[in-house]
Amino acid sequence: MKSPIFVANWKLNKSYTESIAWISQNQTDLTLLAQSATIVLCPSFPALAPLMQLSKGTGILVGAQNCAQNEQGNFTGEVSAQSLQEVGCSHAIIGHSERRRLFNETDEVIAKKAFLLLQNKITPILCVGESDPTTELKIIIAALEPQLSIFKSAPYKSHKNIVIAYEPVWAVGSQKRPSIEIIGQVVQWIRAYATTNFPHFVVAILYGGSVNQNFMSLIKNIEGLQGILAGGASLDFQIFKNIVSLK
């Protein structure tokens, strides 16, 4: 993989103390890993600031798992893109299938988040994927197209980098995975779509959904794939390290 990106999405699986322990116990190894790959750790909100402190000088980046769709105002419980920028986040995940499914997030809501992130110079990591297993590329494309189209009208003047994570919904947390051929075709299609529809953005394409060490060794040679988004496999440092080392 060329300039690979590895995103660790800890979801609600690590507490504040556990998040800090993960990075502080593995700082030397992480610093080495970050020399040849972009590592983005995405803990829950309270751990963002301490992780920023602990990652100083290591090359490790810190990202959020979500952000508010509004800039500011009376929106109890929300965290703004501006706050994420002030705390030092380089990335933020948006459109994760768990947020779409469990929190009813629509493409319209996700677009607002993407725009605010870009305006705050944070790289959005947009998750896109089809709901049910299929080997038919045209069904996958029909699901992905509206999800990706949010970038057609996105502001690009202040920040040009975006990440798109192809995450089949049915593969997330299920130990089920698409074939290498399908991932390869989808990556190529996303690349062509991005070049045609939002050429002013610099786009990195990742895969996510039940990645483990075995699967990493299979997908690492997929043409145009630039990294992975790992959920379960990022919780244990040794497993995450092994996956990054396979790049």
Q: Which of 94, 163, 230, 243 binds ligand PGA (CB under 6 A)?
A: 230
80 binds ligand PGA (CB under 6 A): no
130 binds ligand PGA (CB under 6 A): no
For residue 181, give Cα distances in angstroms to 187, 218, 226.
10, 11, 16
Q: What is the C-alpha to C-alpha distance for residues 138 and 132, in angstroms, rounded to an integer?
A: 13
65 binds ligand PGA (CB under 6 A): no
Active-site residue, selected from the candidate residues 98, 105, 130, 167: 167
Q: Is 86 designated active site?
A: no
On whether the CB atoms of residues 14 and 235 are closer than 8 A, the answer is yes
133 binds ligand PGA (CB under 6 A): no
Shortest distance (Å) from residue 7 CB to ligand PGA: 8
Cβ proximity to ligand PGA, 43 vs 231, nearer residue:
231
Phi, psi of 18 (to 5 degrees): -65, -35
233 binds ligand PGA (CB under 6 A): yes
Cβ proximity to ligand PGA, 24 vs 131, nearer residue:
131
Site string for ligand PGA, 201-220 (x = CB under 6 A): -------xxxx---------
Cβ proximity to ligand PGA, 81 vs 233, nearer residue:
233
Q: Is 91 designated active site?
A: no
The DSSP string of 93-135 is EES-HHHHHHS---HHHHHHHHHHHHHTT-EEEEEE--SS---
Q: What is the C-alpha to C-alpha distance for residues 166 and 90, in angstroms, rounded to an integer?
A: 20
Q: What is the C-alpha to C-alpha distance for residues 81 and 212, in angstroms, rounded to an integer?
A: 31
Active-site residue, selected from the candidate residues 91, 96, 130, 159: 96
Site string for ligand PGA, 141-180 (x = CB under 6 A): --------------------------x----xx-------
245: which residues sit within 8 A by CB, 6+ positions away?
33
Cβ proximity to ligand PGA, 9 vs 69, nearer residue:
9
Shortest distance (Å) from residue 178 CB to ligand PGA: 12
Task: Say which residue the tokens 């992130």 belong to.
Answer: 117
With CA atoms as reference, report the closest residue to 114 among 106, 123, 105. 123
On whether the CB atoms of residues 119 and 138 are closer than 8 A, the answer is no
Cβ proximity to ligand PGA, 118 vs 233, nearer residue:
233
Tell me how many degrees the CA angle 75-81-87 measures, rounded to the nearest 5.
Answer: 115
Shortest distance (Å) from residue 166 CB to ligand PGA: 11
Kindly state the number of chain residues that form the binding site for ligand PGA, as judged by CB under 6 A.
Answer: 13
Q: What is the C-alpha to C-alpha distance for residues 184 and 135, in angstroms, rounded to an integer?
A: 12
Positions touching ligand PGA (CB under 6 A) are: 9, 167, 172-173, 208-211, 229-233
Q: Write out the catalytic residue numbers.
A: 96, 167
